[in-house]
Each structure stands twice: as structure tokens, then as C-alpha cells.
Amino acid sequence: MSEYPNEELHTHLPVRAGATVDIGEMSGIEADVVRGILRAEPVGRLATPPGPATDSATGPVLGIAANQAANPTAAPETPADRPAVRTTSASPPPADSATAAGSIATSSIAANSIAANSIATSSIAANSIDATALASGPAGTGPLALLLATVLDGLDRGRADWLGPLPPGGPHAVREAVAASGFGILPDKGEDPFETLAALGRLVAWGAADPAHPHCAAHLHCPPLATSVAAETAVAALNQSLDSWDQSPAAGEIEERIVRTLTRAVGYPDSSAGVLTSGGTESNLMGLLLARDDILRRRFDTDPDLDGVPPFAAGRMRILASDQAHFSVARNAAVLGLGERSVIPVASDPEGRMRADALGEALGAVVDRDEIALAVVGTAGTTDLGAIDPLGAIARLAARHGAWFHVDAAYGGGLLLGTEADDRLRDLHTADSVTLDLHKLGWQPVPAGCFLVKHAASLRSLEKRVSYLNSVDDEQAGYPSLLGRSLRTTRRADAVKLAAAFRALGREGFQQLTDRCRALARYAAAAVQAHPDLELTAEPHLTTVLFRYLPPDPHDADRVNGALRRHLLEAGRAVLGRTELARERPGTPPGRVRLKLTLLNPHTTEPQIDALLAAVRTAGGAASASAASVRGPS
């Protein structure tokens, strides 16, 4: 494969058009990285992380925790510690302030894992790496490998610039820093891609809300697995698109197999089907679209594809979902021409689960009003409380009323990947369609949504025949097409990263990751209960913990909790979620605002949770004092 002996590359590294750079002229770190890639050697100096290797009561997860020692995002040394702060500057320091962290990324790569790059690199023409270089092709991935090393090095530098979970200084400081960087404009004359990527990597790492930081715990925003991100790079390099076989032959087959794995995990029959999506919002839209069209075809004998929603049905179609259902259900109802008011909220119990008796009553009322129960949407893992609706009872009621049963398992569906069946998902297979989102409890880079249907035939609404994408003669000749599964045309090959994660982790790996995050949630809930100035809202169902800080004057609760969260954001110290309960809880101080921890980082440790709660209490104390001073002495 190699046209040139590696020796030549040691002295003449192709860097950019017209220039041949001698490694000897490079800074130590750059040369280390480049040499490592070319010679397939581990490179660089391992920077000492800010603290000891993470450990936890349950020990390392999959042995990955040990690697955290080489990761500067590994947080604080001691329970009392907050995310370390190396600089208090609100803007990223100039690119020339070199840090030892620069070469961390490559330093932990095993030698044989980059051997392939050295082969690819060796076939690049000496002057080929300029901004027009392509990511792949007959010449190999050499330019990409060098550029990747540069951008990853930039990430580690940016991380070393600021070790908090998000940049300090709030929106104003971030806006100024991004403007000062100059990124975002289109200059007349292009600039060097290496310098561009070094600066960009550094800026985005500094300015990121980093989900891998133990104190970044607001949303269903998981830290992605390195394996999946590496696979994602392969997909990006090849830019496969799943709308036709001739744009993604193997990736299409991989998607089919991933979907089959997921339909089996749900317990669906072989007649089921599915497709990967951009996320829960799109999957829920597809579920409601199929529900709408199914009922129009069955009950009204119309063809919604051609005729849309007939006037006699338009104002009467109803969707029933719990008052905890994701907001995309209502938005999608609007998109589908049904209107947000077509969604009837069904009461949930104090744990956040849909009440089957309330659903029964609501369905009865729909019939009494001569309306049409189009769909019942159950949620397996509500966004705030992580509650899982009683799926079996809901399925029976939906079936009795001839309504489509869609389950939004965007969050809780991740439980299906493990070795242990979760009883709460036992009846998931009774759903007509299911939403899964593996960029939540699945540790995938966004997007990794999935939409599954029990019967492939119900995907009919999405079928399209487009002469230049899926001609009949091509299909008859055995060339398959996934165009008719999706609302999209050009579609990323997200299945490839899932394939990597599935094989590398196995069911046991997913089970360990899930178990660890759930254990952290239980730990956090107990730690909240141990502090008299913190109040736990409910025991965790999955990996979220709802709670609040109780200020000395209970009437300040909402204001103080809102303010303390912004204070932590502004300081770049912690990213907590904020939400509001549908109603005040009887027997607790007034207010509906709650803070939320969404724990999706299996490498977070118990002392780091303690440190996070300590930061909340400190910020809460300060916010209470300023609330009191605004009010003045009473």
C-alpha cells in the first residue's frame, strides 16, 4: 500500500501546498504528535491530571474509569473541591500559551492503533494538505489524520484553559470571545487549515458545555463514547447517505441490522420495521403521522397522502398523552395540522406516571363528545422525573377505543440494551410504534434517534417513488432503498456508530453504564435528603434527580433556585437543570421551581456529586441573602 518508505516521511512531512516542513522545525508537541502518527508510536507527554484517578464505591466501569486519569476533564481531587480553575480569564488565552495538556489525546493511543494512518499518510503527495484536501479517497486518510490530530490537540488545550463544565462569564463573555476569535465570517482569502483547526478546537473546548464534566448534569445530554465518536468520524469522512443504495451500500445494511436488534429488544415480531432518526422529536412526529393516516384510512376510507385531512375529521381528532409527556407531542400535533389543542393532557400520579383511570375517563369523554381518539401516547421515561407510564394498562385502553398506541421511550428505552429486562418495559411490545433515543441513555453522539413500528406495512405514509433515487427496475434487480422509511432525503449513517458501540460494549457494557448512572442518581437523592436545606422532590425512577434549595424564607424559594442556578452557570462551575412542577406539592413550602440533575456520566464519582451539592448550597446561601436584601428588613 505504501508508495514511499516511512523514513522519507520523518524528514519531509507534507504539510500544505508548496511547503515541505521539516519536523525538526516544529514545536515539541506538534512534532511529537506528527511523529507518533507517522511512526505509529505513542506520542507526547502525559500531562498530570488535576487529581488522582477517579474511583467509586462500585469500582471502575468497564475498566474505563482508569483512563479518566489521563483525561483533564476528570474532575476534582477531593470532595470539597469544585471543578479546578486554572485561569479566571473569561476569554480563551492566546493560542501561543502552550500547555502540557496538548498532547494528551494522542499519548494514550496504543501504538498499533495508528499504524493504519501511517500507511495512509505515506501515500499523500508532498504538497497535498491544503484546505482543499479531501477526507478520504484513493489517496487515503492521511490529511484527515493530521488535521484530526491538530483539532484534538486544540480540544485538550482549550480544556486546559478552563476546567469548568462551561465557560465562565455567562452569555456576554462567550459572545465577546467568539467574536474576538473571528470565527463565523467568510474571509476573502483562506487561511492555513492547521492553524484554523488548532484555534477552533481550542475555542470550542473552552466554550463548550462539556457533558463529560461531572458537574455538567442538566439535560439528557450524554457524554458520548470515544468509540462511537471515532466511528462517527469514519462516517463523516465517507459522507454516506441512506436515501439510496448507491450512496451507502454497507451502511444501509448495517442500519437494517441495528433496527432489527432494536425491534427484538422491544419484543416486536419479525413483521416490524424501523429507521434511525434525528431524535425523539422526529420519531414522535412519525408516530403521530402514521397514527393519523392509519385512522383516516381505516375509519374514513380516505387517502391522506393525496387528500390531506378531510374537513369532517379535522376538528375532531384527539391525541391523549399524560401531563408529563414531552412537549414535542403537542408541537407535532400542530405540524400535522391537528393543532396543539387536539392533545388532551391526562393526569399523572405524584410519581409522574400516567393514571390509567384518568386515561379511561378521558377516552370516555372523547367518545361522548363524538370526537375521534387518534392516538394515545405513553411515555417510558419522562424528561423530568424519568417516570415510566403503565404501558400494559394504557395499551388495553387504546385498543378498546381503536386508537394507535405510541410509546415515547426516548429516555427509558436505553434500558433495553442491557442484560437485565426491566419489568416496567415488559409491555413495550404492545405499542404500535416506539421512539428511542440513544443519544440519551445510550452514550452516543447526537443524533442517534430511532423510530420503530410493529408492522412494516404502516410505514406506507412515508413511501415515495423518486425516479432518480429508487427506480422500480433497480429495486426489481435487487437494489434496496431506505428512502421510504424516513421523512428525510439525505440522511446520515448514524447506524455505523451504533454498530461500533454495540460490538465494543455488548449488553453487559450497556448494563454497567446504566447501572452506574442509576446508582449515582440514588446516591444523589440520598445526599439531597441528608441536607436540611435541600428538598428531594421524588425518588429517582431512572437517572434524574429533582430537588430544590430551601431558603430561610420559604416564599423566596422559586426566585432563589432560579438565581442560584444562573449564578453557577455564570461562574462556569456547574450546569444544573431547572424545571417547574405542574402544581405545588401539598405539605411542602410554596413554589414550583425545581433543580434537576440528569446523571448520564458513568465516570462521575460520589465525591463529585457531594461537591456539586455543596456548590448548590453555597450559591443558594448567597442568593437567599441577596433576595432578602432586595426585600429589605421586614
Residues that bind ligand PLP (CB under 6 A): 220, 279-281, 284, 326, 328, 379, 381, 383, 408, 410-411, 437, 449
Contact 38, 6 (CB under 8 A): yes
Nearest-approach distance from CB 379 to ligand PLP, in angstroms: 5
Pairing of strands 593-598, 544-549: antiparallel
Contact 592, 558 (CB under 8 A): yes
Comparison of 29 and 448: residue with beta carbon closer to ligand PLP: 448
Nearest-approach distance from CB 526 to ligand PLP, in angstroms: 24
Contact 599, 544 (CB under 8 A): yes
Nearest-approach distance from CB 416 to ligand PLP, in angstroms: 15
Nearest-approach distance from CB 147 to ligand PLP, in angstroms: 29
Closest CA to 544 of 597, 491, 496: 597
Closest CA to 177 of 153, 208, 145, 211: 208
Nearest-approach distance from CB 287 to ligand PLP, in angstroms: 11
Nearest-approach distance from CB 442 to ligand PLP, in angstroms: 11
Nearest-approach distance from CB 374 to ligand PLP, in angstroms: 19
Comparison of 383 and 537: residue with beta carbon closer to ligand PLP: 383
Nearest-approach distance from CB 95 to ligand PLP, in angstroms: 34
Comparison of 383 and 624: residue with beta carbon closer to ligand PLP: 383
For 69, which DSSP code? G
φ, ψ of residue 24 to 5 degrees: the values are: -60, -20
- Which SS3 state, helix, strand or coil, does residue 582 take? coil
Name 28's Cβ contacts closer than 8 Å, sequence gap at least 6: none
Comparison of 4 and 327: residue with beta carbon closer to ligand PLP: 327
Q: What residue type is assigned to position 392 of the chain?
A: G
Contact 237, 141 (CB under 8 A): yes
Name 279's Cβ contacts closer than 8 Å, sequence gap at least 6: 410, 437, 439, 446, 447, 448, 449
Tell which phi-psi region holds residue 239, choosing left (phi > 0), alpha (psi between -120 and 50) or beta. left
The grid coordinates of residue 624 equal 437567599
Comparison of 143 and 279: residue with beta carbon closer to ligand PLP: 279
- Compute CA distances 348 → 73, 323, 385, 509, 536, whole Å: 39, 6, 12, 33, 19
Q: In the beta sheet, which residues pair with residue 547?
A: 536, 595
Nearest-approach distance from CB 279 to ligand PLP, in angstroms: 2
Nearest-approach distance from CB 192 to ligand PLP, in angstroms: 37
Return d(Cα 74, Cα 313) in angstroms, integer: 56
Comparison of 92 and 211: residue with beta carbon closer to ligand PLP: 211
Closest CA to 612 of 167, 81, 206, 220: 81
Contact 139, 541 (CB under 8 A): no
Q: Where are the alpha helices (DSSP H) in 20-92?
A: 28-39
| Beta carbons within 10 angstroms of residue 435's beta carbon | 31
Comparison of 193 and 381: residue with beta carbon closer to ligand PLP: 381
Comparison of 491 and 559: residue with beta carbon closer to ligand PLP: 491
Comparison of 54 and 514: residue with beta carbon closer to ligand PLP: 514
| Beta carbons within 10 angstroms of residue 631's beta carbon | 12
Comparison of 470 and 543: residue with beta carbon closer to ligand PLP: 543
Nearest-approach distance from CB 589 to ligand PLP, in angstroms: 28
Comparison of 34 and 409: residue with beta carbon closer to ligand PLP: 409
